[in-house]
Structure 1
Amino acid sequence: MDEHAMRTAIERKRDGGTLEARTWHEIVAAYAQGAIDDAQMAALAMAVHFRELDLDEIVALTDAMLESGERLLFPRVPFVVDKHSSGGVSDIVSLVAVPIVAACGVPVAKLSGRALGHTGGTIDKLEAIPGFRVALETREFIAQVERVGCAIAAASDALAPADKRLYRLRDRTGSVPSVGLIVASILSKKLAGGAHGFVFDVKCGSAAFMHDESEALLLARRLVEVAARFDRPAHAIVSAMSEPLGRCIGTGIETIEAREFLRGTREDPRVKALVLAIAAKMLALGGVEDGERGAAAALADGRAYERFVAMVEAQGATRAALEALAIAPRAHEMRATHAGTVARIDAVALGNAARRLTERASTAGIELAVNIGERVERGQPIATIYGDAVAAHEIQHAVEIVEAPSVPLPLVLATL
């Protein structure tokens, strides 16, 4: 793929045409080798952003990026599952669902990322546990899944390296929000991770990367369709992200919330509903019938928590370190300035405020006391800031209280 051929490909996409699978492979290989510069690749990504990719093109781009690096294999495990969330605020589903599913007998190999913008990253949350190692060698990761039944680790640079380079370019040039590019990016990494089936949690709403429900449904559908083209069964759930999923926002404080949820000392109905829905889909892929009931049982009898502890210990931390993890001292309690109904919670503002708080202390953060649709009285607590109180004014304005009743969106908007 030389400069002239690349220019021809850019012009073809710009004018609404499609590129053959061989062309996509040549483009990715040339970009990975430095034969195509960032300027031309950015132009192609922007053309795709405006013209999109058809299903065959998404499959070809996914395959090309997959082939740019290593692929993990689990020869001793007949079926391994993985899950992916498109990013949200106070989303502790991975921390909870992974050990639940493993406790029910289906191994989970979870490759996770770090925080992007206002959203939290599973890897960052686990690193709040002193001693926890997120960077595992390939053989360590595979062996842990075989021995413990689950692992959550950072994706190695050797997996789909072409995607990592392309994603950085897309982020710099404003071409991230393209369904075709998002699907190829997600699946090239997930396929490289070696799992045999996937569950995708596609967030939709004001605090998600997909604000429009029709766009979120398209993304979910494409993820399932492309996975099938690689002989990987998949399910997708489109879930609402117009307010934080759980109560706690911040890396360490979310890990504490997940720990207490697994121990049965804390239960948020929204978190539980989504965790059980996703765990049931993961278990169904692994051949477990009535997965929601099985997941609830593993949560209730302590097996899920013990599996979480086993994973923590396998990755370098200790039960004592996990159980000693404590929320930073309380700095400020926010109260409603007037009576009414909670109509809006700005999860983006809260996510950004929590990120700044955790820069000062890993277990600092925000704990909400209300959800959209709840009636509050004047002076009633609506949130507590742990750590530094500098974000108080942002948090006060992030919770909007009105006189008229407000009805929240359903949590699960669609399942595929």
Structure 2
Amino acid sequence: MTDTRKTPRGAFAIVFSIVLMNSIGFGIIVPVMPALIMDVADVDLAEAALLGGVLSVSYAIMQVFFAPVLGNLADAYGRKRVLLVSVFTFGIDFLVMAMAPVFAWLVVGRLIAGIASSTNSVANAYVADISPPEERAGNYGLMGAAFGVGFIVGPVIGGLLAEFGARAPFLGAAVLGFANALFALLCLRESLGESDRRPFRFVRANPVGALRQFRGSTVVMALLFVTFVVAVAHFVLPATWSFYTIERFAWSPQQIGYSLALVGIMMVIVQGGLTPWIVPRWGVPKSALVGLVFAILGYVGYAVSPLGWMMFVVIVPHALSGLSMPAMQSMMTERVSADSQGELQGAIGSANSMAAVLGPPLMTVLFGVFSDRDAFFYLPGAAFFMAATLTLLGCMVLLRVTAAGSTQE
């Protein structure tokens, strides 16, 4: 592990703040994305859901190929430089989307962001640099809490800014993105010492090359697969939540913002408060399994809720799904050397991005098909049932890994 004596005392607080501001920016645009797509493309809600899937896939395809590149660059040249590029690019993306006269501009903005954006992956590598192994799961939980705080503040701000038009939240997110880049430039210190760096090699800086580096570890490969299928399932939320709640309960942007704010509050409680307390007591594998079980229950709950207020109720237990990823990340980082932490996070990012290629179109198509009033079977919650099924698959794989005792390898 990197010599933490080279890292300032406030290093974790600074990288936490960078991820927090990045998450707020993302959260700002979520409640109004359907409105902007409908305005720019001149389509109805069902068609906007499909176009929203196109945007998500455009972003994800770029990340599939470039997340390993950025992860390897972070191992070769340090975390700070890559973080700066990533955060600044998010600001450009939001600005392009705010100014978009046609739908193609939205696609261009997402492509640019997908190429250079790897904030969370590099930040997680930074956390691995400065954290002893026994504290990593808790620290990853706190990083997840930063994302949760972003979903408390961001959607509320987005809902309020939406009163000035569908483009106003995107302008606000762009300003925040550029301010975040300036903050990182001035305050963030490098965490990866020269002795822990390795030369950049193109043969490793791609999805296949990254996976080859970890094929010797059964646990890492199994957990990367679980990460992939669980991520596909998770994309039902950002891809269809706004559309589903509008179709099922006729929610306004403000109501959507409040629901996402509750999601953020619960994420903060679980990942920032419960995860550092639960994981040391239950152990990493059990914590991951419990998280996946609550994810399954949550998805089913969303699908069958007949009234809007019940969605708020389901959000509370579903938040315990937040135990799974910090625990699985901790399991993987413990099996990777210091000079490959960025590469690991790039592989995780690539797996998540491959999931993002499949997840949004899968979920939005399921929603679009089964929410059509002329559908052979009207079931707007079909995407949530699919998410529950995929998470069950991941749970079974994780159970097999832990039952075999291979987590001790």
Fold equivalence (TM over 0.5):
no
Q: Which has a greater percent of helix?
A: 2
- Which has more radius of gyration? 1
**Bigger relative CO (Cα 8 Å, ≥ 6 apart):** 2
* Greater fraction of residues in strand: 1
Give the TM-score range, shorter chain.
under 0.3
Structure 1 length normalisation: TM-score?
0.26
